[in-house]
Amino acid sequence: MKQEQYIEDLKDIRDIMNRSSRFISLSGWSGVSAGFFALCGAYAAYQTVYTNQDYLGFRSATITMESLLSLLGIAVLTLGCSIGAGIFFTTREARKKGQSIWDHQSKRLLTALAIPLLTGAILCFILLSKGYIGIVAPLTLTFYGLALVNASKYTLTEIRSLGLIEIILGLIATYYIGFGLLFWSVGFGLLHIIYGIMMQMKYKS
């Protein structure tokens, strides 16, 4: 009986330490919703840029100012929907666990995410302005993966493995540069949905 109580006390102590050092209220549904919106955005981008071509064939594209503005609009809408859904599901999860949505842990998490993401975003805008369109999709995957790996020490450990997969996918996409949108759909769409479902099943409360 005493041994069982001792083990239970150790579990409680570990849980308290985990809560004090990591932001653990990320919701699996946030990943699922982000993946869904990413797939919708990728499809809209494909319809904007490519017409009358095989879906799985190598493609080249010329971006006009009109299509570029349309792509930026799609990107902003996709990002806005993903962030909105992420805030909603994460806030709900934090309330269930009695954790504040804006505390020291979440601030450290956002800082760790922001540095690689902002660096990648600035680099991508520079390359777009110079006409290097094909490299943008691989770079967004790579820098997003770096951001996840960097932030994983402040949240769920599974985020690190997702980040490593995103980095590998970004490097492969750099080699197969004509299929950037397809890799982007897999990285931001399919992987988010898979990981979101896995996390929801593992950490559901």
Residue 65 placed within a domain: yes
The two structure tokens encoding residue 204: 């559901």
Q: Which domain holds residue 53?
A: 27-203
Q: What is the identity of the amino acid at 58?
A: F
Rounded CA separation 174/6 (Å): 52
3-state SS class at 168: helix
The number of distinct structural domains making up the chain is 1
pLDDT at 11: 52
What is this structure's pTM? 0.76
Radius of gyration (C-alpha) of the chain in whole angstroms: 19
Q: Which positions of the chain have pLDDT values less than 70?
A: 1-26, 50-65, 67-68, 97-103, 203-205
In a domain, 123, yes or no: yes
12 in a structural domain: no
Q: Tokens 């979101």 sit at which residue?
A: 196
* The predicted structure's pLDDT at residue 95: 76
